[in-house]
């Protein structure tokens, strides 16, 4: 097959064959491809850097990462949010080495240049503040205004979710997201539908896996195929969300999987979701009566609100915002970002969402649930980690790398959608249209196509031409009431 070793590395689009549904293993292991991703994809994509509730007060900061670059999410004295490159302008030292906190200024540990919370090189007089020995070293001529921390030029706060983009030419966040915003809404709105009334639990769960970052994105954006086999033990031992071994997903008993109504949604922009807007995820069955009461009331209130607004009730994922922000917006709600470390190593960060006005017993219940279910020690996440790590190891060999992965599920059977530049999978469980669309967009970014070219390509979509089998339901913007 088409490997860089044999042919020299041309465009990565040569390694993603959407006609046959074959994708070269090289894109998961190759150093040069990883370098191109860091150079052309991550500095141009809108990336999730944190939640506004992590920096509620002036002086608050949170250390985050954008591709290969460490950044600081900060809130200044006026309440403005900034995203700053966490690298000193003098010799590049990481000016802040803490995960989060509150400070008057960041003083570089190396030679003590100091920066205010909005990134400016401070003017404070004295040898140990601002720029030490300003007179002796620079004859007081250093132009401090030019040497503040580098600002990320594009920041967008969407219902508390903070996104940033390094490219001044990048399209707006709204254009980049498109109709996928419905999934972000369900993530950021409260369980009862109150807009943006959520926050994150303090602390971010972080761990490393020995596999490529794209395994994570792909898994969330539509790999419902793995659930029954990979997570069989979770269901078997009865540690679903309610602690009763049930998720109130009657359709799961139906052919061992999801109902037909849960067709996946794939966006030409590279985003993908494991469901569609018409598919309403039932809330789980709780062992505790007070939890049952709380969630039943919240679900009811949300349904009434959305129906009054003529909005569909579905769209809860799991899902991935291209390229590396994955999340579940149903139950539970959490955000997972796959930070690339190397072609075969990824640092995974998980944020856990809770309604701002959730009572203490709900917070406590959710906290325990999140620990039990997610993260490296959680019952679900460790299943996935095993798969990704072993898949990577078994794909690294000289012979293994000659053979592509198979992405042929539902090839040519995609179903049209009412959503802008989107299609649906032909089947609820099987169907890899989301992954194919993700890797197509990935190749376009990684091959460094210009913004006009990317925009033009995003208008075209030949996947929705397949005729929908009569047996399958309509799955457009919303189901008929």
Handedness of CA 322, 328, 329, 333 (dihedral sign): negative
User: Least distance to ligand FES from the beta carbon of 70, Å?
Assistant: 14
Contact call for residue 120 and ligand FES (CB under 6 A): no
- Are β-strands 405-406 and 81-85 bridged in parallel, bridged antiparallel, or unpaired? unpaired
CA dist 261 → 222, 267, 275 (Å): 14, 18, 8
**Between 92 and 203, CB nearer to ligand FES:** 92
Per-residue mark of binding to ligand FES, 37-76 (x: CB under 6 A):
----------------------------------------
Contacts of 480 (CB under 8 A, 6+ apart): none
User: Least distance to ligand FES from the beta carbon of 68, Å?
Assistant: 19
**Between 90 and 246, CB nearer to ligand FES:** 90
User: Least distance to ligand FES from the beta carbon of 108, Å?
Assistant: 3
Interface residues for ligand FES in 76-115 (CB under 6 A)? 88, 90-91, 93, 108, 110-113
**Between 130 and 375, CB nearer to ligand FES:** 130
The DSSP result for 106-159, as a single string, is EE-TTT--EEETTSPBP---STTSSSTTHHHHHTT---GGGSSPPBPSEEEEET
User: Least distance to ligand FES from the beta carbon of 142, Å?
Assistant: 12
**Between 88 and 269, CB nearer to ligand FES:** 88
Per-residue mark of binding to ligand FES, 365-404 (x: CB under 6 A):
----------------------------------------
**Between 111 and 252, CB nearer to ligand FES:** 111
Task: Tell me if 197 sits within 8 A of 188, measured CB to CB.
Answer: no
Task: Tell me if 380 sits within 8 A of 387, measured CB to CB.
Answer: no
CA dist 386 → 47, 211, 297, 336, 421 (Å): 26, 10, 38, 17, 34
**Between 88 and 362, CB nearer to ligand FES:** 88
Place of tokens 């469901």: 275
**Between 88 and 358, CB nearer to ligand FES:** 88
User: Least distance to ligand FES from the beta carbon of 125, Å?
Assistant: 17
User: Least distance to ligand FES from the beta carbon of 171, Å?
Assistant: 35
Residue 137 — φ and ψ, nearest 5°? -80, -40
User: Least distance to ligand FES from the beta carbon of 110, Å?
Assistant: 4
User: Least distance to ligand FES from the beta carbon of 90, Å?
Assistant: 3
User: Least distance to ligand FES from the beta carbon of 115, Å?
Assistant: 9
Place of tokens 């399209």: 171
State how far the Cα of 189 lies from the Cα of 387, in Å rounded to an integer.
Answer: 32
CA dist 481 → 276, 311, 419 (Å): 16, 11, 18
**Between 149 and 278, CB nearer to ligand FES:** 149
Task: Tell me if 353 sits within 8 A of 335, measured CB to CB.
Answer: yes
**Between 112 and 454, CB nearer to ligand FES:** 112
User: At CA 276, angle to CA 270 and CA 282, rounded to 5?
Assistant: 135
Show the tokens assigned to 403: 């053979």
**Between 91 and 367, CB nearer to ligand FES:** 91
State how far the Cα of 6 lies from the Cα of 402, in Å rounded to an integer.
Answer: 10
Contacts of 174 (CB under 8 A, 6+ apart): 181
User: Least distance to ligand FES from the beta carbon of 137, Å?
Assistant: 11
State how far the Cα of 424 lies from the Cα of 346, in Å rounded to an integer.
Answer: 29
Give the number of residues in contact with ligand FES, rule: CB under 6 A.
9
Sites of contact with ligand FES (CB under 6 A): 88, 90-91, 93, 108, 110-113
């Amino acid at each position: 097959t088409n490997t860089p070793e044999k042919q020299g590395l041309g465009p990565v689009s040569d390694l993603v064959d959407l006609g046959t549904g074959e994708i070269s293993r090289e894109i998961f292991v190759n150093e040069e491809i990883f370098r191109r991703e860091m150079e052309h994809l991550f500095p141009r994509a809108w990336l999730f850097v944190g939640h506004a509730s992590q920096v509620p007060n002036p002086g608050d900061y949170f250390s985050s990462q954008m591709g290969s670059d460490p950044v600081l999410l900060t809130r200044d004295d006026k309440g403005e949010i900034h995203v700053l490159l966490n690298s000193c302008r003098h010799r590049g030292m990481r000016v802040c080495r803490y995960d989060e906190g509150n400070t008057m200024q960041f003083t570089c540990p190396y030679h003590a240049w100091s920066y205010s919370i909005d990134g400016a090189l401070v003017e404070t007089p004295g040898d140990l503040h601002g720029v030490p020995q300003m007179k002796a070293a620079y004859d007081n001529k250093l132009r401090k205004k030019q040497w503040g921390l580098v600002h990320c030029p594009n920041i967008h706060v969407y219902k508390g979710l903070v996104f940033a983009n390094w490219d001044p030419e990048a399209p707006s966040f709204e254009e980049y997201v498109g109709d996928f915003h419905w999934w972000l809404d369900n993530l950021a709105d409260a369980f009862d539908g109150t807009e943006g009334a959520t926050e994150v639990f303090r602390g971010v769960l972080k761990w490393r896996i020995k596999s490529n970052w794209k395994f994570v994105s792909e898994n969330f954006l539509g790999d419902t195929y793995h659930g029954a086999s990979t997570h069989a033990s979770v269901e078997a031992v009865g540690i679903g969300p309610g602690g009763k071994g049930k998720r109130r997903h009657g359709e799961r008993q139906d052919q061992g999987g999801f109902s037909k109504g849960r067709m996946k949604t794939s966006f030409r922009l590279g985003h993908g979701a494991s469901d569609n807007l018409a598919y309403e995820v039932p809330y789980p069955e709780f062992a505790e009566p007070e939890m049952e009461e709380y969630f039943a009331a919240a679900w009811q209130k949300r349904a009434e609100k959305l129906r009054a607004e003529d909005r569909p009730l579905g769209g809860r994922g799991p899902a991935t915002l291209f390229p590396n922000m994955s999340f579940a917006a149903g139950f539970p709600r959490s955000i997972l970002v796959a930070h690339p470390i190397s072609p075969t190593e990824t640092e995974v960060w998980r944020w856990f969402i809770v309604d701002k006005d959730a009572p203490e017993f709900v917070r406590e219940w959710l906290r325990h649930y999140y620990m039990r279910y997610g993260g490296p020690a959680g019952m679900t996440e460790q299943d996935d980690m095993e798969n990704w790590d072993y898949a990577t190891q078994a794909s690294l060999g000289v012979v293994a790398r000659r053979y592509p992965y198979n992405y042929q599920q539902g090839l040519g059977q995609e179903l049209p959608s009412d959503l802008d530049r989107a299609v649906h999978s032909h089947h609820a469980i099987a169907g890899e249209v989301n992954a194919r669309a993700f890797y197509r967009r990935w190749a376009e970014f990684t091959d460094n196509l210009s913004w006009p070219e990317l925009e033009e390509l995003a208008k075209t979509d030949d996947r929705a031409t397949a005729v929908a089998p009569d047996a399958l339901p309509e799955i457009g913007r919303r189901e008929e009431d």
